[in-house]
Amino acid sequence: EQVAQDIRAFVIEDTAQLEAFRIAYMGRKGHIADLFDGMKTVPNEEKKLVGQQLNGLKQLAQERFDEAQEKLAGSQTSAAKLNLDFTLPPVPNTLGTRHPLSLVREEIIRIFGRIGFNVSEGPEIEDDWHNFTALNFPENHPAREMQDTFFVQKNPDFLLRTHTSTVQVRIMENNQPPIRTIMPGRVFRNEAISARAHCMFHQVEGIFIDENVSFADLKQTIYHFAKEMFGEKTQIRFRPSFFPFTEPSAEVDITCLICKGEGCNICKHSGWVEIGGCGMIDPAVMESSKIDPDKYSGFAFGMGIERITMLKYQIKDLRLFTENDVRFLKQFESVV
């Protein structure tokens, strides 16, 4: 009886204690074996009973042993089973970062969103009508030439859009004023890749069409955008220019934030960087898109997102945007 109690009370919390238990009760020199040895001295008529009791003890010890062993195995981490080493340093779980062009595109959308512009999109593979003809490009305009445009198919022409002005046409064809929307997207031109140019880049187009929209509205909108994007002190200038789909037309420069007037290859040592073109939408373009030019007027602009990003973050080489060097991309980790 005493031995049975001892067996039940034996503390088994680790493998060493389990082994001690085994030796004490189940080993060849353990308590139970001793008791079995004592059977010799037991009178014959009691042998049966004592034998039963001893077998009961033996069974009890075995049960406790099995149960404790199972418990210890369960509590042992799977690390031990799999032979893993938890003291090794962890493999860091690195998070990706958003691309600077995406960050700036989002910022542009937010700035224009606050003054009532929504966002529109169009296809990257376009037809001649939306890229050129509807935008008033003459039949033999140099921009249609093979060296600028990537043609997917000739006759009828399908091409990779060379500007986001294609989306202007699609919006005007399907909506009536008031229209106030921006159209960010990828564009393609067959240009030699350099620090300033790439054959694939991004633009954001904007149009505002309503009654009595003037060039003053255009200037204020661009000025507002520049201040929001680059800071209150930013200066801009409009240079007279030409686009087949706007009249009058202008190009927009902002002061070079990369060299801050010191002179660099991006502003070609002029201190000014062009960020896009703009102008009043040509009445002929409105007409071909079924908007009445006698009732409505509107402005359009198209800006380069790479240029804006380069100025905002002092990036001196446009090729960095497409090289996917994590040392470059990681630097935008904390930008929200």
> Which parts of this chain interact with ligand PHE (CB under 6 A)?
163, 165, 205, 243, 246, 249, 276-279, 300-302
Shortest distance, position 120 Cβ to ligand PHE, whole Å: 14
Shortest distance, position 326 Cβ to ligand PHE, whole Å: 31
* Closest C-alpha to 161, from 137, 119, 129: 129
Question: What does DSSP assign to residue 280?
Answer: E
Alpha-helix residue ranges (DSSP H) falling in 191-296:
215-230, 283-288
Neighbouring residues of 159: CB distance < 8 A, sequence distance ≥ 6: 125, 126, 127, 128, 131, 149, 150, 151, 152
For ligand PHE, the closer CB: 6 or 287: 287
Q: What is the C-alpha separation between 36 and 42, in angstroms, rounded?
A: 10
For ligand PHE, the closer CB: 12 or 172: 172
For ligand PHE, the closer CB: 25 or 112: 112
For ligand PHE, the closer CB: 12 or 303: 303
Q: Is 247 annotated as a binding residue?
A: yes
Shortest distance, position 145 Cβ to ligand PHE, whole Å: 15
* Closest C-alpha to 121, from 50, 184, 52: 184
Question: What does DSSP assign to residue 11?
Answer: -
Shortest distance, position 205 Cβ to ligand PHE, whole Å: 6
Query: Starting from the edge strand earliest in sequence, which strands make up the sheet with 158-160, in order?
Result: 125-127, 158-160, 151-153
CA-CA distances (angstroms) from residue 256 to 111, 133, 161, 259, 316? 21, 35, 28, 6, 11
For ligand PHE, the closer CB: 165 or 255: 165
Shortest distance, position 275 Cβ to ligand PHE, whole Å: 11
Residue with the closest Cβ to ligand PHE?
A: 302
* Residues tagged in the binding site annotation: 247
* Residues tagged in the binding site annotation for Mg(2+): 247
